[in-house]
Chains A and B, each alone.
Chain A
């Protein structure tokens, strides 16, 4: 296992360096002068020169790159143009709300998906299964930037049950978490149904039933538990989609997280902050993928020997 883990980590390092390089190059893709773009066309020449020096853009590219990498290793992502504070601090303040929203979305998706998947498997081919399958298909096809406003119209505007936007209370979590978790819920429901149908065909299920266990107990205590392994793997693999989804969900519901910060930074042409947010999301995604792979190899020894 240790050998596999070390090999997998070694493969991740060049990817992380590649990600950092691409993020570093982003600011150099700005058409014209990035400092001029940040300050606007009416800015004085001396101000532009000053900002260019502050961003280090007046130095050779390789020197800038070395400085960027050294900064990353030290946890220094530069200074935000808009807030005039360290980028790492701005992102750090918004990490917890984003993590909370992502966790709530995963929780909501599992709460919706597991009963739907189980009902689909138990009543396979019947009306209940068709309803559950259709609901999951609709969930997959509804983009979150539409589902969010729709849920807001129904549950906040028409019924007045939930706040439209903002954060602070548990009620504020419901709409963003449901919006962010819907697509994952649809995917997990389909996966749970498919794996549970396979498990229900296994001999141990027949044996449990023959020993007099009730259908519910057989499904919940035995078959469902075994069918959850691939479902949990999908959750891990889909965390990247959840992370990207936070950008739109946080924008819709004015959630004070990293996704909203990224869009605000883009609107203010705060390129150091844009670079910081992109880097953080990409590195989190790579790290989560690494952890999922390691967890999977730990659970299934066959993977280590491939």
Chain B
């Protein structure tokens, strides 16, 4: 039930992001200063922002940013993390020890602290946000896959492949890594929620997407100055973030239950 609800939330946002410009008859960048801060109405369902721009149109464009960051960060992190984790777990020894120390250092920075630091020095932009989130994101996948590989490499079919002389790349690519796909897919679904919140947090702090491109985080930041006179500026993007995050969390939980009935 929760999984379906989560999927519905995600689909609604995907449709909004994909078809927004055709469904909403307003330009998300065009300003209408006399109408600034106007509340929801029949013309503008979610109201107008501090520069008189349609909030629904900006929400749709912001959805593209959120989904792009989520997909880019999760896909690159998952691929890098899976490869590194598989190599560390399968080869063991010095390789495992060295990669383990690198992961320990990256994990010593709580949450998005390292991403904040990296974007602070690299400069605020969408590309740097993705880069910073990948640098902190791959470690989680690597840890997860390493643990799985330690178990899988002892299984008989993997031992058999090694015994007949299959090269390491073939054993890893054909037998070991595919066995970790289900765990990685659950982590990736939950990781979408994490990446979206992280991007919104960075944009909220002024370190993400730069104006006039709308991002849900920058929209929330702009709303902070209008808590008294236009609370809808804060409420609208916040609800959007919370629903999308809830959607991916529900979908991830449901996927985990399906893939691991013992859980």
Q: A and B: real partners?
A: yes
- Spell out A's residues near B (CB within 8 Å): 14-16, 18-19, 21-23, 26-27, 29-31, 137-138, 140-143, 145-146, 149-150, 152-153, 156-157, 164, 240-241, 243-245, 247-248, 251-252, 262-263, 266-267, 271, 274, 278, 281-282, 285-286
Shortest distance from the beta carbon of A263 to any chain B beta carbon, whole Å: 6
In the bound complex, CA of A278 to CA of B112 (Å): 11
Q: Are B117 and A26 in contact (CB under 8 A)?
A: yes
B110 on the interface (CB 8 Å rule)? yes
B170 on the interface (CB 8 Å rule)? no
Q: Are B101 and A248 in contact (CB under 8 A)?
A: no
Interface residues of B, dominant DSSP: helix
Q: Are A14 and B206 in contact (CB under 8 A)?
A: no
A278 with B113, Cβ < 8 A, contacts A149-B234, A263-B205 known: yes
Q: Are B205 and A251 in contact (CB under 8 A)?
A: yes
Q: Are A19 and B105 in contact (CB under 8 A)?
A: yes
In the bound complex, CA of A145 to CA of B219 (Å): 11
Residue numbers in A under 8 Å from B109 (CB-CB): 19, 22, 278, 281-282, 285
Q: Are A248 and B205 in contact (CB under 8 A)?
A: yes
B245 on the interface (CB 8 Å rule)? yes
A267 with B224, Cβ < 8 A, contacts A141-B245, A146-B241, A157-B231 known: no
B201 on the interface (CB 8 Å rule)? yes
Nearest-neighbor residue (CB-CB) of B115 within chain A: A244
Q: Are A141 and B108 in contact (CB under 8 A)?
A: no
A30 with B223, Cβ < 8 A, contacts A18-B104, A282-B108, A286-B108 known: no
Shortest distance from the beta carbon of A286 to any chain B beta carbon, whole Å: 5
Shortest distance from the beta carbon of A280 to any chain B beta carbon, whole Å: 11
Q: Are B235 and A150 in contact (CB under 8 A)?
A: yes
Nearest-neighbor residue (CB-CB) of A34 within chain B: B121
How many residues on chain B are close to A (CB under 8 Å)?
41
In the bound complex, CA of A244 to CA of B117 (Å): 12
Contact among A26, A138, A164, A241 for B110, CB-based, below 8 A: A241
* CB interface residues, B 138-185, toward A, < 8 Å: none
Name the residue in B117, B220, B237, B246 with the highest tally of chain A Cβ atoms < 10 Å from its Cβ: B117
Q: Are A30 and B121 in contact (CB under 8 A)?
A: yes
Shortest distance from the beta carbon of B152 to any chain A beta carbon, whole Å: 22
In the bound complex, CA of A27 to CA of B101 (Å): 22
Contact among B104, B207, B231 for A153, CB-based, below 8 A: B231
- Spell out B's residues near A (CB within 8 Å): 101-102, 104-105, 108-114, 116-118, 120-123, 197, 200-201, 204-207, 217, 220, 223-224, 227-228, 231, 234-235, 237-238, 241-242, 245-246, 249
Known pairs A15-B108, A241-B111, A281-B110 / 9 extra A-B pairs, C-beta < 8 Å? A23-B117, A29-B121, A141-B249, A145-B201, A146-B238, A263-B206, A274-B117, A278-B109, A281-B113
Residue numbers in B under 8 Å from A252 (CB-CB): 224
Shortest distance from the beta carbon of A134 to any chain B beta carbon, whole Å: 11
Q: Are B108 and A248 in contact (CB under 8 A)?
A: no
A18 with B108, Cβ < 8 A, contacts A29-B118, A150-B238, A247-B116 known: yes
Q: Are A274 and B120 in contact (CB under 8 A)?
A: yes
In the bound complex, CA of A152 to CA of B231 (Å): 10
Q: Are B113 and A146 in contact (CB under 8 A)?
A: no
Residue numbers in A under 8 Å from B224 (CB-CB): 149, 252
Residue numbers in B under 8 Å from A27 (CB-CB): 121
Residue numbers in B under 8 Å from A142 (CB-CB): 238, 242
Q: Are A157 and B228 in contact (CB under 8 A)?
A: yes
Q: Are A244 and B111 in contact (CB under 8 A)?
A: yes
Nearest-neighbor residue (CB-CB) of B248 within chain A: A141
Nearest-neighbor residue (CB-CB) of B238 within chain A: A146
In the bound complex, CA of A19 to CA of B111 (Å): 15
Residue numbers in A under 8 Å from B237 (CB-CB): 146
